[in-house]
Amino acid sequence: MIQVTIDDKTLEVEAGTSIVDAAKSAGIFIPTLCHTDFLEPEGACRVCSVEIEQNGRFQVVTACNYPIRGELTVKTASERALATRRTVLEMMLARWPQVKVVRDLAKHLGITEPRFAHPQKNEDPHACILCGLCVRTCREGVWQNVLGFEGRGASRRVVMPYDGVAPECVGCGACAFVCPTGAIQMMDDPNHPADAARIRRAGMVVTKEMVLLDDDQCKMRRAGTAHLVEIMNDYDLLPVNNYRFGSSDDAHKISSPHFVKRFTQNIQDGCALGCDMACAKGSDDFEITTGPDKGKRVCVDGPEYETAGGTTNMGIFDPEWCIEMNYYCDHYGVDTISYCTLMAFVMECYEAGVLNKERTGGLELPFGAADAAMEVLHQMARGEGFGLVAGQGVRRMKKMFVADYGADPDFLNDIGMESKGLEYSEYVTKESLAQQGGYGIALKGAQHDEAWLIFMDMVNKQIPSFADKAEALHYFPMWRTWFGLMGLCKLPWNDVEPTDNAETDEPAKVPKHVAGYCDFVAGMTGQEVTPADLIRMSERVYNFQRIFNLKMGFGQREHDRIPYRSAGPVTATEYESRAERYDKQLAEEVDFDPAGKSTDEKCAALRTWREDRYEKLLDAVYERRGWTANGIPTLTTAKALGIDKMDGLVDLLTANGAAQ
Amino acid sequence: MALTVNGEPHPFREGLTISALMQEKRFSYPLKTIFVNGARVDRKAQDTTLLSDGDKVDVIHLMSGG
């Protein structure tokens, strides 16, 4: 700690503290103009000039960017300090006499008329005073860097590159927000919203949070979703070897630092005007080692968490391999999640003897077989060899392996991680019943983007009863559907959260952000809406989609079934790897004494209990949603939502026992 | 000698801070809010806040992700 005397107060501060911050902590006011807490201090405007005495020498310095490194005496209102400040303000007042912030600061220093006349006097009350807050906010706060200064001296101006309109500008409005004079104004949107200012105010809440909070929260700008690899491993949720396990001692080899050091872009994805999340990540100058682009240096978009989690799911812990797989999936138009999950299934089939070299065209495909797995991806793209089999996905492979190789259908159904024909995304759901429902009931198939409830359910224990889980499995799928209805991204909803979110009644819903979305709708349409109105919008669409699924042969209870691997341990190896957890559950919750029982017996008892709970969960969710026990929206529900007038809908529901 | 952490018992020891408890539980997710006996503990105080035997600790992980 260093002793510093500011005016008549002596205090101790940490080395490196700026004079402005030290003064603030002592309750001493130093005027500032270009200084703000969330940017590196610049000392551009010199309004914060103070006089310091150090080692017998006197000096006028800018208080905002002068770090205290040794014992120091500061005089904030000495003659020299005030004379400097007055001269600065006089010059500003001479040039921009009508700008309020300049007039206020001048008045504070007792200046009414400047001594000088400025050749470029500007009477505009909203003139740019070149404080640079917009330039620094764009660069340091929003990470966009499209504003800069042009020219020197009196001809200095704030411009975008080449004095044009930079297409990289995301229109977040942060520059207009920090501008102290109103020199930067947002243009009205060509979509002619009812109240553009209201939309901007709502958007600015998230823009500010990203700037101020993201580094401490989800690091969406620095690491993106890749930061989840090590976190999921810690919580036993990272899929390893086709979801057998939720963590691995090798996970550190593919944790986010390996990706972050490669990421070079960290820019806005360009999908939404105004967003400053900078979620786009690229691995630039990456050298490809296989396939048609071998030897080329390319830019790879990503990887995201799911791609890394899918890699561990194949028992591969090599970030370079993951990036190359990411590249070829993008290149070939293959979804990384589906590829990873189907390959994990193939590998388990290989290890179980369902597949062998003869059946894979000579490829050895146990877990961890990185080179062979990449070759299957190339074969899928070329439409040849084993790629023709694997490329059909888990659901069809199960049928083929039973029909062609006489494989045990029960085993394949247990380990084939798909629902409604879609491969699972990369989370281990065994310990979260609500999340099992989140995957199983999802309309599009096994995706977590309708509801990601694992923390609420498994870790926080916030939704213990079936009714609690059913409520969560109603609200969150409806809420997330709403983003789809609006064409909005959900990341700004809960990948950055207000600092006081935990104090709200329902933190998981992030109520302040939901209110912001209501402002967005009202600002766009001119109609006031409540959070309940937004959910209602989704309920109409969601129920219609479910009925559409029914029409297409996917909308009943049987289609919401899940592979047992997502609900519990299929094999003895899995059980034994978490034996303490499962034994405890059997003893405490299943009323089954595990002592002296074989692993197979314990597996069977656990399975009966877990499968029964899943059925009870379906009952609770269907009831909450106004569906029949077979998972079909009733006519009453359709009428209440106003979707019963569709052609053929009444007949379809009647034919499926949902006429009530 | 035990704490209750999210409804489950966890061994207590003298000198246990909230941050140390988070490490023991492997609660590494950053977006979480911690309550001790119902009172929220500021993020900055988690390194220095000592727990007492019998404390009820609620670690509320907020959702994020795709």
CATH at A307: 1.10.569.10
How distant is the Cα of A172 from the closest Cα of chain B, in angstroms? 22
- Confidence check: pLDDT of A189 > 80: no
User: At A379, phi and psi to the nearest 5?
Assistant: -65, -40
How distant is the Cα of A159 from the closest Cα of chain B, in angstroms? 36
Same domain assignment for residues A475 and A600: yes
Say if residues A390 and A376 touch (Cβ distance below 8 Å): yes
Same domain assignment for residues A570 and A513: yes
A508 → chain B, closest CA residue: B62
- Confidence check: pLDDT of A188 > 90: no
Element (H, E) at A312: helix A305-313
Question: Using a CB-CB distance cutoff of 8 angstroms, which residues of chain A are in contact with residue B56?
Answer: none
Q: Is the CB of A217 less than 8 angstroms away from the CB of B61?
A: no
Q: Residue A464 burial by CB count (10 A; 0-12/13-18/19+): exposed, middle or buried?
A: exposed
pLDDT in tens, A608-660: 999 999 999 999 999 999 999 999 999 999 999 999 998 999 999 999 999 98
Question: Using a CB-CB distance cutoff of 8 angstroms, which residues of chain B are in contact with residue A449?
Answer: 66
How distant is the Cα of B19 from the closest Cα of chain A, in angstroms? 15
Same domain assignment for residues A419 and A450: no
Q: Residue A354 — very low, low, confident or very high, per pLDDT cuts 50/70/90? A: very high
Q: Residue A285 — very low, low, confident or very high, per pLDDT cuts 50/70/90? A: very high
Axis-axis angle for helices A319-332, A336-351 (nearest 10): 120
Question: Within a domain: residue A208?
Answer: no
Question: Within a domain: residue A110?
Answer: no
Element (H, E) at A300: strand A297-301
Quote the pLDDT of residue A613. 98
Helix (H, G, I), strand (E, B) or coil at A7: coil
Q: How far is CA A515 from CA A188, A258, A509, B30, B53, in A?
A: 23, 38, 10, 24, 40
Put simply, whether A3 touches B (Cβ < 8 Å) is no
**Domain holding A585: CATH number?**
1.10.599.10
Helix (H, G, I), strand (E, B) or coil at A546: helix
Question: Within a domain: residue A212?
Answer: no
Structure tokens at A274: 């105004």
- Mean pLDDT score of chain A, rounded to an integer? 94
pLDDT in tens, A59-84: 999 999 999 999 999 999 999 999 99
Question: Within a domain: residue A442?
Answer: yes
CATH 3.10.20.30 fits B2-61, yes or no: yes
Q: Which position has the higher pLDDT, A279 or A438?
A: A438
Q: Is the CB of B40 less than 8 angstroms away from the CB of A503?
A: yes
The number of helices, as runs of H, and strands, as runs of E, in chain B is: 1, 5
Q: Is the CB of A460 less than 8 angstroms away from the CB of B31?
A: no
Q: Out of B26, B43, B63, name the one closest to residue A508 (CB).
A: B63
Q: Is the CB of A507 less than 8 angstroms away from the CB of B33?
A: yes
> How many interface pairs between A and B have CB atoms less than 8 angstroms apart?
74
Same domain assignment for residues A263 and A400: yes
Same domain assignment for residues A545 and A611: yes
Quote the pLDDT of residue A216. 85
Q: Is the CB of A461 less than 8 angstroms away from the CB of B7?
A: yes
Where among A423, A456, A474 does a domain terminate? A423
- Domain extent, residue A526, equals 433-655
The ipTM, to two decimals, is 0.93
How distant is the Cα of A287 from the closest Cα of chain B, in angstroms? 28
Q: Tell me what the mean pLDDT of segment A254-263 comes to.
A: 90
Contacts of A538 (CB under 8 A, 6+ apart): A477, A478, A479, A481, A482, A485
E strand segments, B1-66: 2-5, 8-11, 32-36, 39-41, 56-61
Question: Within a domain: residue A102?
Answer: no
The region of weakest confidence among A83-87, A218-222, A238-242 is: A218-222
Where among A77, A105, A136 does a domain terminate? A77
DSSP state of A368: T
- Confidence check: pLDDT of B65 > 70: no
Contacts of B42 (CB under 8 A, 6+ apart): none
pLDDT in tens, B26-62: 999 988 889 999 998 988 899 999 999 999 999 999 8
Same domain assignment for residues A548 and A463: yes
Angle at A405 between CA A404 and CA A407, to 5 degrees: 120
Of A242, A236, A229, the residue nearest A373 (C-alpha)? A242
Where among A423, A446, A473 does a domain terminate? A423
Same domain assignment for residues A493 and A408: no
Angle at A232 between CA A226 and CA A233, to 5 degrees: 110
Say if residues A195 and A523 touch (Cβ distance below 8 Å): yes
Count of other CB atoms within 10 angstroms of residue A297: 10
B33 → chain A, closest CA residue: A502
Quote the pLDDT of residue B63. 77
Say if residues A268 and A491 touch (Cβ distance below 8 Å): no
Q: Is the CB of B66 less than 8 angstroms away from the CB of A234?
A: no
Same domain assignment for residues A181 and A295: no
Axis-axis angle for helices A599-625, A433-440 (nearest 10): 60
Same domain assignment for residues A323 and A417: yes
Quote the pLDDT of residue A265. 76
Helix (H, G, I), strand (E, B) or coil at A355: coil
Question: Using a CB-CB distance cutoff of 8 angstroms, which residues of chain B are in contact with residue A225?
Answer: 65-66
What residue spans define the domains of chain B? 2-61
Quote the pLDDT of residue A358. 97
Which residue type, as a one-letter code, is found at position A434? A
Q: Which position has the higher pLDDT, A166 or A416?
A: A416
Question: Using a CB-CB distance cutoff of 8 angstroms, which residues of chain B are in contact with residue A510?
Answer: 62
Count of other CB atoms within 10 angstroms of residue A519: 19
Beta-bridge partner residues of B59: B34
Question: Within a domain: residue A361?
Answer: yes
Say if residues A493 and A513 touch (Cβ distance below 8 Å): yes
pLDDT in tens, A472-520: 999 999 999 999 999 888 889 999 999 888 888 888 899 999 999 999 9
Cα torsion B10, B13, B14, B20 to 10°: value is -70
Q: Residue A218 — very low, low, confident or very high, per pLDDT cuts 50/70/90? A: confident
Element (H, E) at A52: strand A49-54
Say how many domains are in chain A. 4
Question: Within a domain: residue A116?
Answer: no
CA-to-CA distance for A502 and A498, rounded, in angstroms? Answer: 8
Mutate to test the interface with A, among B22, B24, B42, B64 (most CBs of A within 10 A): B64
Same domain assignment for residues A133 and A50: no
Q: Is the CB of A460 less than 8 angstroms away from the CB of B30?
A: no
CA atoms within 13 A on the CB side of A219: 16
Same domain assignment for residues A356 and A441: no
Question: Within a domain: residue A205?
Answer: no
Q: How far is CA A578 from CA A245, A573, A603, in A?
A: 9, 9, 12
- The strands making up A9-13's β-sheet, listed across from edge to edge, are A9-13, A2-6, A72-75, A49-54, A57-62
Contact residues of B toward A, CB < 8 A: 6-8, 26-31, 33, 40, 43, 58-66
Q: Residue B66 — very low, low, confident or very high, per pLDDT cuts 50/70/90? A: low
